[in-house]
Each structure stands twice: as C-alpha cells, then as structure tokens.
C-alpha cells in the first residue's frame, strides 16, 4: 500500500485514541473535583489533567492558572491546542478523507458523522456540566464506534495492522503518561497509603483508563499503588496496560513482516520492549524507581514510532 496511506491510517487511529483518552481524563478529573476538599487535599486536579495530557507548558503560555472552565475548554475545544479533542477529531476526519479508499464505509461514516455533529452541536463548546457530560460521552462513543467498525469491517491486511499500530502506540503512551504524572504527584508524600485521599486519587487513575472494575476482579483488594502500577504496566489481560499494548504491537508488526516477507528494526525494537516488560516485576520496578522506569518507557515507545515511520511510512 502507499506509504502515505499507511501513515494516514496510523495517525487516524492515534487521533481517535487520543480524543478518547482526553475525554476520559476530563471525566475522571471532574469526578475527583466533585468530592469534598477533605477527600482530595490541596492538589489542583486540573493541573494534573494538563500534565497527563502533555499540554501543561503550552497551556500556561496563555493562561494564568488552571481551573475547570479553562482546562476543559483547552482540552476539549481550543483551536490553539493542537491536540484538543476538537482538533483530534478534525485531524482524524481530514486523514480519513485522504485515505477513504483504505477505510470501510462504516469507519468513514463514524468519523464523518462525528465531525458533522461536532460542528452542528458542539461548535460553541459546552456551558453546563450536563452538556459537558454529553459531549464526553459523544467522544467516547465515537471512539468505540470507530474501533468497533474497524474491528468488524476491515480486511485483515496491512491497512488494518498499520491502524492498530497507531492505536496501541498512542494507548501505551497515554497509559504511561497518566501513571507517571500521578506517581509524581502522589509518591513524594509520606506513605499514608490507604487514606481517603489516596483512594480517590488512585480510583481516578483507574477510571481514566477505564479499569476500576478490572482492578477489583484481578486483585480482589482495596486500592494499592503498587497493584495499580502492576495492573497498568505488567498485566497482559488489561487492554490498556503497557504489556498488552506491546503484545499487540509485536503481533501487528510480525503480521506486517510476514506479509511483506521482511523483518526490520521496528520488529526488533518492539520485541525488545516487550521482552523487558515480560521479564520485569513490580519489585524491580520500584527498586529502579517507577518514574525512571516510565520515563524510559515513554522514550522507547516514541522511538518505536520514529522507527515505524522510517521503515514504512515515508
């Protein structure tokens, strides 16, 4: 297939995944801020939302402080923020248009309808919490529909695999980022683990990756930081964990390698990361430092993006 087509599919999946992640982040943040102050302490959750979205720096170039109103607007609707939800959906739609021949009509319909709704219903943003909740649901449903239609209707060929690569790479990045920020904010504090503050912070992390129920099924325990980290980093059964993302990345890259009759640096690099995850346990990671571990992972992950680009997309 055309390199440009593969690149567009790859980024299309990334944009959709990112939009959903942002919607989840806002949703989780709203829940925490709705709690009485005694439960959440003095941290500014909106600050942390900006950090996990990776846009804190650009936000503060034009804003004095972070509050619900301006962060929600910045993450959802701002034209100045290249990865606002609106810009993600617009970019996804533009990418879809340029690779329409590689999309199934269901996928195109999902993105195009979402884009039309975005303009018709959400062009002025949201002014109440109810509207915001509706908007966030709309974004999450768009992503679910898109993912579902891709899964159900695409031929299992390179077009599918490249779009899956984009999805898992983006997802791994998002999961790693949210863990890092929360750890950063929480762990320097002395270990009063198990208090209400902690509980809500950790549950918000899990909610933002849609894994709160999964946590209880897997561990049958109250929320504990190392178990949350274990779930999100090493547990291959959780679709958003780093381990699971890398299982998928390795598999999709292998499928491409087999179809093209050739392996390359992307396959090797992805396998390297997966092997490291497979042979780690939480004890080692804590010894080494969770922050350091995740920082390395984020670097390795984006390096994989560069290698894939070089090997296939340009």
Partner 1 sequence: MAVAFDEMNIPGGDLRPAYQELARWLKETPPEALEYRRQEAELLFRRIGITFAVYGEAESTERLIPFDVIPRIMSGKEWALLERGLKQRVRALNMFLRDIYHGRDILRAEIVPDDLIFQNPVFRPEMNGQQVPHDVYVHIAGIDIVRVDAKNFIVLEDNARTPSGVSYMLENREIMMRLFPDLFARHRVAPVERYPDELLSALRSVAPQSAQGEPTVALLTPGVYNSAYYEHSFLADKLGIELVEGRDLIIKNNEVFMRTTEGLKRVDVIYRRVDDDFIDPLTFRPDSVLGVPGLMSAYAAGNITLANAVGTGIADDKAIYSYMPDIVKFYLGEEPILKNVPTWRCREPKDLAYVLDNLGDLVVKEVHGSGGYGMLIGPAATKATIEAFREKLKREPEGFIAQPTLALSTCPTCTASGLAPRHVDLRPFVLTGSKSTTIVPGGLTRVALKEGSLVVNSSQGGGTKDTWILDE
Interacting residues with partner 1 (CB under 8 A): 1-6, 94, 97-98, 100-101, 105, 108-109, 112-113, 116, 119, 158, 162, 256, 260, 262, 312-314
First to last CA, the chain: 12
Closest to partner 1 by CB, 51 vs 165, is 165
**DSSP secondary structure letter of residue 253:** H
Burial of 239 (C-beta count, 10 Å sphere; 0-12/13-18/19+): middle
Closest to partner 1 by CB, 59 vs 161, is 161
Closest to partner 1 by CB, 183 vs 312, is 312
Smallest gap, in angstroms, from Cβ of residue 120 to partner 1?
A: 11
Tokens of 19: 């939009």
In angstroms, the CA 121 to CA 119 distance is 6
**DSSP secondary structure letter of residue 112:** H
Closest to partner 1 by CB, 54 vs 264, is 264
Instruction: Name every residue whose Cβ is closer than 8 Å to that of residue 116 and which is 6 or more positions away in sequence.
Output: none
Closest to partner 1 by CB, 2 vs 34, is 2
Smallest gap, in angstroms, from Cβ of residue 86 to partner 1?
A: 12
**From the CA atom positions of the chain, what is the Rg in Å?**
19
In angstroms, the CA 178 to CA 202 distance is 11
Smallest gap, in angstroms, from Cβ of residue 5 to partner 1?
A: 8
Smallest gap, in angstroms, from Cβ of residue 104 to partner 1?
A: 11
In angstroms, the CA 115 to CA 113 distance is 5
Smallest gap, in angstroms, from Cβ of residue 6 to partner 1?
A: 5
């Amino acid at each position: 297939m055309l390199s440009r087509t593969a690149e567009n599919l790859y980024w299309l999946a990334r944009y959709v995944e990112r939009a959903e992640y942002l919607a989840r982040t806002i949703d989780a943040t709203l829940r925490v801020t709705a709690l009485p102050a005694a439960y959440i302490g003095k941290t500014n959750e909106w600050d942390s939302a900006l950090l996990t979205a990776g846009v804190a720096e650009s936000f503060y170039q034009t804003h004095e402080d972070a509050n619900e109103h301006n962060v929600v607007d910045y993450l959802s609707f701002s034209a100045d923020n290249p990865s606002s939800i609106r810009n993600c959906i617009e970019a996804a739609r533009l990418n879809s248009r340029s690779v329409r021949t590689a999309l199934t009509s269901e996928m195109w319909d999902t993105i195009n309808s979402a884009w039309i709704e975005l303009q018709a219903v959400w062009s002025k943003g949201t002014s109440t919490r109810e509207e915001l909740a509706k908007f966030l649901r709309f974004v999450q449903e768009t992503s679910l529909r898109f993912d579902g239609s891709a899964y159900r209707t695409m031929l299992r060929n390179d077009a599918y695999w490249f779009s899956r690569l984009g999805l898992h790479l983006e997802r791994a990045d998002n999961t790693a980022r949210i863990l890092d920020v929360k750890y950063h904010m929480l762990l320097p504090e002395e270990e009063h683990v198990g208090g209400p503050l902690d509980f809500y912070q950790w549950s918000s992390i899990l909610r933002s990756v849609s894994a709160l129920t999964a946590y209880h099924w897997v561990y049958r325990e109250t929320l504990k930081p190392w178990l949350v980290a274990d779930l999100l980093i090493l547990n291959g059964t959780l679709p958003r964990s780093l381990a699971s993302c890398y299982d998928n990345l390795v598999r999709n890259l292998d499928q491409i390698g087999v179809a093209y009759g050739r392996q390359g640096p992307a396959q090797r690099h992805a396998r390297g990361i997966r092997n490291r995850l497979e042979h780690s346990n939480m004890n080692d990671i804590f010894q080494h430092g969770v922050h350091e571990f995740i920082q390395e992972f984020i670097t390795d992950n984006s390096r994989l993006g560069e290698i894939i680009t070089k090997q296939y997309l340009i």
